[in-house]
Amino acid sequence: MAAIDTAITENPNQDQTPAADPNTLGGRLALGLQSFREMPVGRQIALLGTLAGGLVAVVAILFWALKPTYVPLFSQLEGAEAAEVMEALTQLGVPYRVDNSSGRIEIPQQRVAETRLQLAGQGLPKSADIGFELLQQESGFGTSRLIEGARFQRALEGELGRSIAALEPVDKARVHIARAERSVFVRERVPPSASVVVHLKGSRGLTDTQVGAIVHLVSSSVPELTPDRVTVVDQSGRLLTSDGEDKSSRLSLDHLEYTHRVESRYVDRVQSLLVPIVGRDRVRVQVSADLDFSRVERTQESYDPDKTAIRSEQLNEEERIGADPLAGGIPGALTNQPPAGGVVGQQQAAQGNATVPSSRSQQTTRNYEVDRTISHIQETPGGVRRLTAAVVVDYVDQVNEAGEPIRVPRSDAEMETLRDLVREAIGFNEARGDSLQVRSASFVPESDEDEEPIWTQPWFLELVKIVGGLLLALIVMLTVVKPALNQILPKPPEPEKPQEDEETRALTDGIEGEGEGEEGEEIVSLTHEPSGLAALMGPKGPDRQQLDLEAVREMVREDPKRVVQVMKQWLAEDGSG
């Protein structure tokens, strides 16, 4: 065994350096670094690139998954207002970013409501429309009347814009008022006009009633401004106000809307009456109303000949007794002479014996008044001409003799009761031709659908983003990073004793043998010839041979592959020698 002494002498530090324990993390790292150094340079570069790329991919995926979702803080801001908002966000410590395409300020979604409240406390963003507070600003000493009028008009436009923006569908609004300058040299004055630009929220729209309200709001706020000189336009450039030529079409739309409201009112009446009886989803009601929108004005005057009354009565009675002494004779001076003188008693006696003439007349005038009625009737449009109603009631759920649920139609008595209730609810009038149908039918069950699907919720999208990012990072770790680490770090030894190959088993058996023949001589020679191992172990005693055998056995158990390489080297040297 002279060759083994030589092999051990060539590696004198092998026994001095303790072998790395593969069961510990430090030992595995040491063995991995040693294995990495033994690799070719090309393989080292490829392995390092794969490991670095996998780690970078994992970090990027985790950063994307855990990064908060940014949403716009405000939809539209002017440049100066956006700068003030950005400065306020920096002071509040709120992370933000500016969209390069739209220029909008975006912040994390979970902090939008909180940040808006904090900015509102600081008065941000400032309203684009400046109201009457503009008049409170100090003006220069030499401000002219023209500038003061322009400031007042700008303040009025701002106040009108704020009032219009208070409507539910309107996000913001701008008002422009045009008024001609007054002059004593102008005979015909141009009336003022106004235009309104409204920015609506999302896909919402303004009804004709709301547009009319905006028009009258503006016209009532500006002196001498009539509603027909107010124009309303939305953000897409659509003209919301109609001119005089479209009055007929607008009137038709108003009639249709009014008819729909009347029908809805009748439907609500019937449903509020039947739902507590048959159930919320077990009744369907439809009402069709025929309305009369004609305007009728008439005046009528009627007389009743049977009813008369004395309005006024005048009675004139006249009676004369005797002739008029002044009447008679020939007209002239002789007739007007006084009578001749005589005796008083003789004249009275003469008059008593004569016949006294007399006359009497009576005249009566009565004015009668005949009963007369004058009626001025103006019929309001929108009266009901005819009603048509249809009511469908669901079947009743019952259980048959076998215990199975079945659906049966309602009884005739119950249907008649429901029919009477509906007739009274809609004010059924057979004289005007109203129609009512109440039927019982089996309803098809509707599938339960959420008003807002869960996948449309912001929190669900954020959760899917995080979970997807984590799964993608895990896949990269398992398919890229782990195989690269396995190439560097050796596998930990199995707890069971590994099976030794034939060469190791033969070497161990040869060392453990007691030495007959050639192998025995080699073992004996190991104990007698000087070697590096013997020098390290010190002087030999009587049991030194047994100690050498134990040391060789320990070497075989710790690193059998290296011992096999030494044996192969011996065999190669013996073959060459």
- Tell me the per-residue pLDDT of 409-451, one tens digit each, with 9 for 90 and over: 999 999 999 999 999 999 999 999 999 999 999 998 776 555 5
Could you tell me which residue, 526 or 115, shows the higher pLDDT? 115
**No. of H helices and E strands in the chain?**
17, 13
Angle, alpha carbons 206-207-211 (nearest 5°):
75
pLDDT tens figures, 234-243: 988 888 887 6
- Tell me the average pLDDT across 126-136: 63
CATH number of 70-122: 3.30.70
Which carries the bigger pLDDT value, residue 40 or residue 513?
40
What whole-number distance in Å separates Cα of residue 360 and Cα of residue 319? 4
Secondary structure element (H or E) that encloses residue 170, with its range: strand 170-178
Q: Which comes out higher in pLDDT, residue 330 or 371?
A: 371
Compute the mean pLDDT over every residue in the chain, rounded to the nearest whole number: 76
Burial class (CB in 10 A: 0-12, 13-18, 19+), 96: middle
Find the farthest-apart pair of alpha carbons in the chain and give their distance in angstroms, rounded: 228
* 61-75, 128-142, 231-245: least confidently modelled range: 128-142
Q: Does domain 267-295+381-440 have CATH number 3.30.300?
A: yes
Which has more pLDDT, 401 or 11? 401
In the CATH scheme, what is the code of domain 146-181+190-241? 3.30.300.30
**What's the pLDDT score for residue 96?**
87
CA 504 distance to own-chain centroid: 78
Identify the band that residue 28 occupies on the pLDDT scale cut at 50, 70 and 90. Answer: low
**Does residue 502 surpass a pLDDT of 60?**
no
Asked whether the predicted pLDDT for residue 5 surpasses 70, the reply is no
Among 104-108, 288-292, 480-484, the range with the most confident prediction by mean pLDDT is 288-292
Residue 107's DSSP bridge partners are 71
- Which is more confident, 454 or 9? 454
Q: What is the pLDDT of residue 135?
A: 66
Q: Give the Å distances, CA to CA, from 363 to 96, 309, 331, 368.
A: 111, 20, 32, 17
Give 232's pLDDT tier (boundaries 50, 70, 90).
very high
Using alpha carbons, list the distances in angstroms from residue 506 to 206, 457, 511.
99, 72, 9
* Residue 175 burial (10 A CB sphere; 0-12, 13-18, 19+): buried
Indicate if the pLDDT at residue 402 is higher than 70.
yes
pLDDT in tens, 150-196: 888 888 888 898 899 888 889 888 999 998 877 777 777 888 999 99
On the question of pLDDT at 31 being above 50, the answer is yes
324-342: average pLDDT: 59
Residues 6 or more apart whose CB falls under 8 angstroms from that of 539 comprise none
Q: What is the pLDDT of residues 349-400, one digit of tens each?
A: 555 555 556 677 888 888 877 777 888 888 788 889 999 999 999 999 888 8
Q: What is the mean pLDDT of residues 556-573?
A: 78
The per-residue DSSP string of 176-240 comes to EEE-PPP-TT-SSPPPPEEEEEEEESTT----HHHHHHHHHHHHHHSTT--GGGEEEEETT--B-
Q: Where, residue-wise, is CATH 3.30.300.30 in the chain?
A: 146-181+190-241
In what helix (H) or strand (E) does residue 319 lie, and over which residues does it extend? Answer: strand 296-321
